[in-house]
């Protein structure tokens, strides 16, 4: 009898210990470029995360979280790696998240594997990043989501026969080039020139590069540059060189039409055709609520773009992990919790592919039109549940 | 490819380099001061233009004039308070001081205005394309070429053909002799410094369309300014003009034909040129 009672006591004690363990705070390390050329992106993601917390105050249940932010500064990856190391060793975080630039995620991936820290990527779009560590899951996009689909659409919807591709010369740029080329050529088009447009760290003078593209006289000019200031300069140069009048259509992933820069682009951008997983003009109720709350908190002049919504969805993913694991983060269980996770996001229904840990989502083909004195994205068509085609087709480093 | 449009594009980017760098050539060549904060004045000029246009609704050209005078005045303040103390100091001290100043400027602008790139809204008559009869080309590039040419003529006349220019050249060649002849060297240098910084400010504003404008501007383009000035020769206004055109055109051509090479050609070319003529292409020996 006595032994039995002791056993019950011991059992009760263990349960109590488990309960108190679950009351621990989950530490989330956020790595974003809070300064430098990417500071605006960091602000987008930050605001997306804040908006999620505001609209879903009970998402984490009774579990406490603590957010530790670190600046990854420039897009080289080196600063991000240092920040991740510090978050793991000194701050002892449970989950890593953020990562705007691909080099940041690429440089940090080995650390996540070694320290076994789940890494939820909120932007970095180079397709093969998810293959770098079993600890990585991505809630943002792969360059192939938009690039491949745009290639197909350019040949089928826009009836283009020839294309010139301009891309910022770093991993996602090359990825976007490959994706577009594969999609365009498999649909019968031909890529006649590929022009690297300098690095991501600064906005170059695009004139000589665009001059070269213009002289090739393609039907479409597909451009990938980092969203934001690069995109504004692309629109400017495209118009200043009279490429539209020369009959060359500018197309690209939605990085070319970041919602928060759209109105600043002015009439120069009317007619631009892009494909992307989000724009602030989407009509679903989740998005309406998201945009409304955003504008209320951050001013009518501020608009969420795809990065904002990725910050929002990233927090949703982390909330799912924390509540599923009852506040105790076991790395393998955390990644398994994300496999097959489904969510009704402002960008439409999304899920995490159980096999690749990458996102599955809708892609929207849109045209910029002027309506009521402002530029809006007019939806030309939706492709449902798009997977990362790089991994589906087993291309290059995605094998 | 169309050689005329390549030449026009190259000339335009060369003119931007010229307008921004010529002030550096003036201060560094004439006054013998290693002013690495020059790009900082260009950046401040750009911000004055952007903010004046945005908040006061000032048109583009008056905003350029405002930037010239505002930055020139501010630079005189700095010259009298700070730079003047270092005229006799070693080059290393001058370099450290001016680089420190760049960091202060960058941080101040980031704090006050924000880290993002600023867009200079050009007036309608400078946008789009202009038909020259034989070719249609970007209006703004043509405007830059015209402005740069006018500037080089004005500066050349000012330095080579006026009493003021003669005084500056005299003070640079032999400061004590000039002083004993009654030239107020301190004031002369202050005025020269103001003109140099004012030109930088105008260049920052005019070049923003092509070079962009953000808090990291001064350091990002420092190398280009130094290349132009050293290839052109210190203190040689016309030399800087030719050097800027040469570098602008070559950079443009290389970017069109070998976009993968990046800026490597320009750096290699500078290396070879300076090994061949350390005083610069158009510089006098012995500087």
Whether residue A209 and residue B129 make contact (CB cut-off 8 A), yes or no, is no
Token output for A313: 């969805």
* Nearest alpha-carbon partner for B191 in B160, B168, B224, B218: B168
Specify whether A34 is located in the same domain as A177.
no
Specify whether A178 is located in the same domain as A314.
no
Overall number of domains in chain A? 2
Coil, helix or strand for A339? Answer: coil
pLDDT at B32: 77
Q: Residue B115: its chain A contacts at CB < 8 A?
A: 35-37, 39-40
Average pLDDT score over residue span A217-239: 90
Specify whether A194 is located in the same domain as A240.
yes
pLDDT at residue A76 greater than cutoff 70: yes
pLDDT at B285: 53
- How far CA A295 is from CA of A43, A51, A280, A375, in Å, comes to 14, 10, 11, 17
pLDDT at residue B273 greater than cutoff 90: no
In contact, A120 and A96? CB cutoff 8 Å: yes
Average pLDDT score over residue span B171-181: 82
Domain of A54, in residue numbers: 9-141+284-357
Specify whether A260 is located in the same domain as A372.
yes
In contact, A32 and A105? CB cutoff 8 Å: no
In a domain, A4, yes or no: no
φ and ψ at residue A30, rounded to 5 degrees: -110, 120
pLDDT at A306: 95
pLDDT at A19: 43
Model confidence over A87-133: pLDDT tens digits? 999 999 999 999 999 999 999 999 999 999 999 999 999 999 999 99
A286 vs B7, higher pLDDT: A286
Model confidence over A258-272: pLDDT tens digits? 888 888 787 878 889
CATH number, domain of A174, equals 3.40.50.2300
Candidate from A27-31, A275-279, A373-377 with smallest mean pLDDT: A373-377
Select from A205, A236, A264 the Cβ nearest to the Cβ of B13: A205
Model confidence over A192-216: pLDDT tens digits? 999 999 888 777 889 899 999 999 9
In a domain, A2, yes or no: no
What's the gap in Å between the CA of B163 and the closest CA on chain A? Answer: 40
Interface of B with A in 135-164 (CB under 8 A): 136, 138-141
Confidence bin at B1 (pLDDT 50/70/90): low
Specify whether A153 is located in the same domain as A164.
yes
In a domain, A99, yes or no: yes
Specify whether A181 is located in the same domain as A239.
yes
Model confidence over B182-227: pLDDT tens digits? 888 888 888 888 998 999 999 999 988 888 888 888 988 888 888 8
Give the residue carrying structure tokens 């004439």.
B30
In a domain, A245, yes or no: yes
Specify whether A216 is located in the same domain as A129.
no
Specify whether A295 is located in the same domain as A258.
no
Token output for A228: 């934001």
In contact, A135 and A119? CB cutoff 8 Å: yes
Strand-pair category, B129-131 with A374-386: unpaired
Model confidence over A31-52: pLDDT tens digits? 999 887 788 899 999 999 999 9
Token output for B136: 């249609």
What's the gap in Å between the CA of B113 and the closest CA on chain A? Answer: 13
pLDDT at residue B274 greater than cutoff 90: no
For chain B, the average pLDDT equals: 87
pLDDT at B6: 86
What is the DSSP secondary structure assignment for residue A141, as one 8-state letter? -
Specify whether A31 is located in the same domain as A65.
yes
Strand order across the A136-138 sheet: A65-71, A26-32, A95-98, A119-121, A136-138
Is B210 part of the contact surface with chain A (CB cutoff 8 Å)? yes
Is B121 part of the contact surface with chain A (CB cutoff 8 Å)? no
Whether residue B212 and residue A264 make contact (CB cut-off 8 A), yes or no, is no
pLDDT at A20: 43
pLDDT at residue A228 greater than cutoff 80: no
In a domain, A30, yes or no: yes
Chain B residue at shortest CA distance from A236: B209
pLDDT at A22: 47
Candidate from A81-90, A172-181, B268-277 with smallest mean pLDDT: B268-277
Specify whether A271 is located in the same domain as A392.
yes
Size of interface A-B (CB pairs under 8 A): 84
Q: Residue A211: its chain B contacts at CB < 8 A?
A: 1, 5-6, 9, 256
Confidence bin at A6 (pLDDT 50/70/90): low
pLDDT at A56: 95
Whether residue B259 and residue A209 make contact (CB cut-off 8 A), yes or no, is yes
A199 vs A332, higher pLDDT: A332
Specify whether A14 is located in the same domain as A111.
yes
Average pLDDT score over residue span B149-155: 92
Q: Residue B216: its chain A contacts at CB < 8 A?
A: 36-37, 202
State how far the Cα of B244 lies from the Cα of B248, in Å rounded to an integer: 6
Helical (H) or strand (E) element with B237: helix B237-257
Helices (H), chain A: 2-22, 39-55, 78-89, 102-115, 143-156, 171-186, 207-216, 229-240, 262-265, 285-298, 306-324, 331-338, 389-392
Average pLDDT score over residue span B9-36: 85
Specify whether A292 is located in the same domain as A392.
no
Whether residue A36 and residue B260 make contact (CB cut-off 8 A), yes or no, is no
């Amino acid at each position: 009898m006595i032994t039995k009672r002791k056993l019950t006591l011991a059992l009760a004690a263990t349960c109590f210990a488990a309960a108190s363990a679950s009351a621990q705070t989950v530490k989330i390390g956020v790595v974003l470029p809070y300064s430098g050329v990417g500071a605006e992106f960091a602000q987008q993601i930050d605001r997306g995360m804040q908006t999620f917390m505001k609209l879903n105050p009970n998402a984490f249940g009774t579990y406490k979280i603590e957010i530790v932010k670190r600046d990854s500064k420039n897009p080289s990856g080196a600063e991000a790696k240092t920040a991740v190391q510090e978050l793991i060793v000194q701050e002892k975080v449970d989950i890593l998240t953020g990562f705007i630039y691909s080099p940041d995620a690429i440089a940090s991936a080995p650390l996540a594997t070694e320290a076994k820290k789940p890494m939820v990527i909120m932007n970095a779009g180079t397709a093969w990043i998810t293959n770098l560590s079993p600890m990585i899951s991505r809630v943002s996009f792969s360059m192939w989501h938009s690039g491949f689909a745009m290639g197909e659409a350019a040949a089928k919807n826009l009836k283009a026969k020839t294309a010139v591709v301009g891309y910022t010369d770093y991993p996602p740029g090359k990825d976007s080039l490959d994706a577009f080329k594969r999609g365009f050529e498999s649909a019968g088009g031909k890529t006649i020139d590929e022009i690297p447009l300098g690095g991501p760290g600064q906005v170059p003078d695009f004139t000589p590069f665009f001059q070269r593209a213009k002289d090739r006289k393609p039907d479409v000019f597909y451009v990938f540059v980092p969203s934001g200031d690069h995109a504004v300069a692309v629109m400017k140069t495209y118009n200043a060189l009279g490429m539209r009048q020369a009959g060359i259509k500018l197309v690209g992933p939605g990085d070319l039409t970041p919602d928060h820069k759209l109105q600043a682009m002015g009439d120069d951008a009317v007619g631009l055709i892009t494909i992307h997983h989000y724009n602030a003009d989407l009509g679903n109720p989740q998005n309406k609520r998201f945009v409304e709350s955003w504008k209320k908190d951050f001013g009518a002049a501020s608009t969420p773009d795809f990065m904002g919504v990725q910050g929002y969805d990233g927090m949703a993913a982390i909330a799912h992990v924390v509540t599923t694991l009852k506040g105790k983060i076991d790395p393998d269980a955390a990644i398994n919790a994300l496999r097959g996770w489904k969510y009704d996001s402002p960008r439409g229904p999304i899920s995490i592919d159980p096999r690749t840990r990458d996102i599955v989502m809708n892609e929207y083909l849109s045209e910029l039109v002027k309506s009521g004195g402002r530029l809006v994205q007019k939806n030309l068509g939706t492709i449902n549940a798009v997977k990362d085609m790089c991994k589906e087709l087993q291309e290059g480093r995605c094998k | 490819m169309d050689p005329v449009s390549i030449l026009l594009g190259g000339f335009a980017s060369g003119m931007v380099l010229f307008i921004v760098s010529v002030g550096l050539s003036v201060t560094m060549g004439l006054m013998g001061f290693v002013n690495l904060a020059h790009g900082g004045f260009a950046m401040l000029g750009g911000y004055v233009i952007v903010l004046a246009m945005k908040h006061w609704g000032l048109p583009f050209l008056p905003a350029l004039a405002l930037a010239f005078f505002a930055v020139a005045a501010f630079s005189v303040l700095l010259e009298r308070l700070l730079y003047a103390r270092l005229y006799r100091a070693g080059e290393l001290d001058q370099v450290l001081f001016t680089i420190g100043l760049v960091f202060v400027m960058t941080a101040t602008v980031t704090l006050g205005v924000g880290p993002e790139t600023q867009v200079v809204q050009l007036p309608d008559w400078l946008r789009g394309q202009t038909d020259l009869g034989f070719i249609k080309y970007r209006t703004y590039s043509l405007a830059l070429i015209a402005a740069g040419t006018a500037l080089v003529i004005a500066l050349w006349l000012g330095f080579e053909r006026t009493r003021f220019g003669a005084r500056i050249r005299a003070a640079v060649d032999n400061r004590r002799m000039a002083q004993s002849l009654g030239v107020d060297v301190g004031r002369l240098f202050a005025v020269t410094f103001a003109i140099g910084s004012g030109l930088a400010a105008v260049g920052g504003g005019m070049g923003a369309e092509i070079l962009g404008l953000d808090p990291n501007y001064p350091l990002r383009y420092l190398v280009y300014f130094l290349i132009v000035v050293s290839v052109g020769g210190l203190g040689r206004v016309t030399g800087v003009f030719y050097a800027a055109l040469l570098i602008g055109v070559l950079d443009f051509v290389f970017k069109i034909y070998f976009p993968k090479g990046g800026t490597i050609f320009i750096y290699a070319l500078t290396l070879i040129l300076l090994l061949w003529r350390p005083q610069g292409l158009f510089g006098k020996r012995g500087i």
